[in-house]
A and B are shown apart, each in its own frame.
Chain A
Amino acid sequence: MKSLLCFLCFIAFAASSRGQSTIEDKAKAGLHKMFGDSAAISSSWRRLSGSEIDSIARLSHSRWQRDSLQVYVCSAHQKTVGYGFVDDVKGKVQFITYLTGINTDGKVQDVDILAYRESYGGEVAYESFRRQFRDKSSADKLIPGKDIKNISGATISVRAITTGVRKILLTYDLLKGTL
C-alpha cells in the first residue's frame, strides 16, 4: 500500500511539473497543422446579435453562451487560406475545448480537441473520429449517429462536438461576407 502511495505521488509530481501550453498556443499549433506551418495567423473579435444567436441555435441545437467570439484568420502569401474558431462545449461534467478549421470554400479543414477533461469519452480526440468532419459544410445536417458515427462509450462527447461543429459552420456562413 505504501509503495502504491509513493507511485501515485510520483505521478502527480511528474504530471504537474510538465510544461503547460495555453489554449491559444494549442489553437495556433492546430491551425498550422491544418493550413501549413508557414501560414500567418491573426485573430479578431466579432459580435453576434441576439437574433443571430437565436437563428444559429435553432438550426444547430447548440447555443453560443456569449455574444462575441474570436475568429482566427490564416493567411499564406497575403491570401486568406482559412479560418479557425475555438469553442467550449459541455461533456458529461467538464467542458471540452475544440478547434474547428474552415477553408475558404466553407468546408471543414479539420477539427482538433484542444482540451479534454473527462475520464470517459476521450475517443473524440482520435483521428478516426475527427476525420468524419472533413469537407463538411453548413449544407450538411451533421446528425449525430447518422452523418457522424457514434463511438460506444463516448456518446455524450460525440454529440457535444458534433452539434458544436454544426454551430460553427452556421456561424461561419453568417459571418463569411465580413471576415
Chain B
Amino acid sequence: MFIALSFTLAASAQETTSIGGYGELHYNEPDGAARGTLDFHRFVLYLGHTFNEKISFKSEVEIEHTKIEATGSGGAEGGEVAIEQAYLDWHFSEHLGMKAGIILAPIGVINQIHEPPTFNGVERPSVDDVVIPTTWREAGAGIYGSFAENTSYQLYAMAGLRAEGLSGEEGLRGSRQEALESSPMNPSITGRIDVVPNTDLKLGASFFVGSTTEGDSALGSGTVGLVSANAQYSTNGFTFRAVGAFAAISDADKINAVYGNDVADQIYGYYIEGAYDVMPLLCAESEFSLSPFIRCEKFNTQAKVTGFAANPLYDRNVTTVGATFKPTFNTAFKIDYQFFNNAADVNTKQLNFGIGYSF
C-alpha cells in the first residue's frame, strides 16, 4: 500500500520542466495598389517548471516579425523580443492561488488566451488592440481561485500605466510599462470574475483602475478606470462571442496640456462574432472543423474629449468575414476579408491568410 501511494504522488510531485509555444504566419494584402506582405507575426515559446505539487514557474517569450536588427547593420526595422509572462504560481488549493512576476491583466478574452487556434480571424480583433491593449502585462502579484461552484476570480496589484504614453489614436496602448524598468508609482488594481452556468456558456466581467501621473500635480490624477464584459456561447456547432470595454481617463485635459497627445476622456469598443462549424454537414465522421464566421467591431478612442474636437478617423468600425479550418484543436488555417471604415468616411479593405498553432 505504501508503495502504491508513493507511486501515485510521485507522478505529480517530481520536478519537471516543460516547453510549449504558439505561432502565426500572416499574409496581409490591402485592397488597391499596395502589395501584400508575408510575415511570421508571432513566434512564442513557453517555458514552465514544476517545483513541487503546489509551486510552478510559467513564462512566455515572444519574437515578433521574426527578427530585430541592430541599427549598425543597416537599419532598425524589424520586430521585438519580449517576455510577456514570467511568474511564480503558488497553487494552494482550488479556492486560492497566488501569482507574482510579470502577469497578464485579466481583461477581456484575448489578453489572457491568445493562442491563434482559439480565435477566428488572421488578426486579433482591433478592440483587443487599442481599447484593451493586448498583450497587456505588467509586473505584479495577486490571487486567483474559485470561490463557488462554477465561479472563479482573479485579483492582482500591478504596475500601472504612464500618462505620457496615452494617445488619441491608440488609447491606452502606448502607456503600458511592460515590466521594463517600470515605475511602481502608479500602482493599479485589476481583476475579473468568470461564471460558467453550464458547459455552453461562459460569462466574464473584469476591471482595471489606477493612476498614470506618478503624483505629478501638473498632470492631475490621470486615473484610468476600465470595465469590460464578455460572453462566450457554443451549442451544436455554433459559437458566439461578445466582448465590450469602456475606459475613462480623468484629467485628460491636463495630460494633453503637457504631452499634446489628444487623449480622450472616454474610450469604448465592442465586438460580436458568430461562427458555425459546417464540417459535420460535409463529412459527419470527420474530426476536423471548418467554421465560417463574421465579426463586427465598433470602437472609438475619442468617444468623449475636452478642449478639442474629436477626430472622426478614430471612430471606427471593422467587419471581418472569413473561415477557420482546424485539422486538430491546436492547429488552424485561416482566411478572411476585412472592411475598415470610420466616421470620416475613409473606407479600406484587406485580404488575410494565416496559419497558427499551439502546443
Name A residues whose Cβ lies closer than 8 Å to a Cβ of B: 1, 4, 8, 11-12, 15-16, 18, 22-24, 43, 45, 65-66, 70, 86, 88, 90, 92-95, 97, 113, 115-120, 122-123, 125-129, 132, 143-145, 149-153, 155, 159
Residue of B nearest to A96 (CB): B12
A-chain residues with CB within 8 Å of residue B1 when the two chains form the complex: 43
* List of B residues within 8 angstroms of A70 by Cβ: 4, 7-8
User: B5's closest neighbor in chain A, by CB?
Assistant: A24
Given contacts A22-B9, A119-B144, A93 and B98 within 8 Å (CB-CB): no
Contact, CB under 8 Å: A16 / B56? no
Residues B284-303 near A (CB distance < 8 A): 287, 289
| A149 CB contacts on chain B under 8 angstroms | 199-200, 234
Asked if B198 lies at the interface with its beta carbon under 8 angstroms from chain A, I say yes
Nearest chain B CB to A91's CB is how many angstroms away? 10
A-B contact pairs, 25 of them (CB 8 A): A1-B187, A8-B143, A15-B90, A15-B93, A23-B8, A24-B5, A66-B11, A88-B11, A90-B18, A93-B46, A94-B50, A95-B11, A95-B50, A115-B53, A116-B91, A125-B94, A128-B196, A132-B199, A144-B329, A145-B329, A149-B234, A150-B199, A152-B202, A153-B109, A155-B118
Q: Which residue of A24, A122, A129, A150 contacts B8 across the interface (Cβ within 8 Å)?
A: A24
Whether A152 and B234, one on each chain, are in contact in the complex, defined by CB atoms closer than 8 angstroms, is yes
Q: What sequence of 0s and 1s flags, for each residue 94-108 of chain B, a beta carbon within 8 Å of any chain A beta carbon? A: 101111100000000
B198–A128 touching, CB < 8 Å: yes
Interface pair A128/B56, CB less than 8 Å apart = no
**Known contacts A1-B184, A70-B4, A117-B56, A122 near B152 by CB under 8 Å:** yes
Given A70-B4, A126-B196, 13 additional A-B pairs, CB 8 A? A8-B141, A45-B4, A70-B7, A86-B8, A93-B20, A115-B53, A116-B94, A122-B146, A127-B149, A128-B198, A149-B200, A153-B109, A153-B194
Shortest beta-carbon contacts, A-B, top 6: A15-B92, A93-B48, A149-B199, A95-B12, A152-B232, A88-B11
A126 close to B12 (CB less than 8 A): no
Q: State whether A18 and B93 are in contact (beta carbons under 8 Å apart), knowing that A1-B187, A43-B1, A126-B149 are contacts in the complex.
A: yes
Asked if B248 lies at the interface with its beta carbon under 8 angstroms from chain A, I say no
B84 in the interface (beta carbon within 8 A): no
* Bound CA–CA A15/B90 (angstroms): 10
Asked whether any CB of chain A lies closer than 8 Å to the CB of B113, the reply is yes
Q: B197 near A97 (CB under 8 angstroms)?
A: no
CB neighbours (8 Å) of A151 from chain B are 196, 199, 202
A47 to B109, CA, bound (A): 45
Candidates A15, A115, A125, A155; contact of B12 at CB < 8 Å = A115
Contacts of A118 in B (CB 8 A): 91
The smallest beta-carbon distance between B315 and chain A, in angstroms, is 30
Partner of B199, one of A16, A66, A129: A129
Q: Does B249 reach chain A (CB closer than 8 Å)?
A: no
| Contact between chains at A65 and B329 (CB < 8 Å) | no
Task: Evaluate whether A92 and B20 lie within 8 angstroms (CB atoms) in the complex, with A18-B92, A24-B8, A119-B99 already known.
Answer: yes
B150 within 8 A of A: yes
Say yes or no: A159 contacts B329, CB within 8 Å. Answer: yes
Cα–Cα, bound, A94→B18 (Å): 9
Q: How far is the CB of B200 from chain A (nearest CB, A)?
A: 7
Determine whether the beta carbon of B91 is less than 8 Å from that of A119: yes
Chain A residues with Cβ under 8 A from B54's Cβ? 117
* In the complex, residue of chain A having the shortest beta-carbon distance to the beta carbon of B358: A156
Q: Does B26 have its Cβ within 8 Å of any Cβ on chain A?
A: no
B150–A128 CB distance below 8 A: yes
Residues of B within 8 A of A4 (CB): 141, 157, 187
A93 to B12, CA, bound (A): 11
* Contact partners of A95 in chain B: CB under 8 A: 11-12, 50
Docked Cα-Cα span, A97 to B13, in Å, equals 11
Which residues of A are found within 8 Å of B96, using beta-carbon distances?
11, 15
Chain B residue at smallest Cβ distance from A43: B4
State how many angstroms separate the Cβ of B297 from the closest Cβ of chain A. 19
Instruction: A16 to B144: give the CA distance in the assembly, Å.
Output: 15
Please determine whether A12 and B90 come into contact, CB atoms closer than 8 angstroms.
yes
Q: Who on chain B is nearest to A129 by CB?
A: B199
Most buried by B among A1, A97, A119, A122: A119
Q: B150 — nearest CB in chain A belongs to which residue?
A: A126
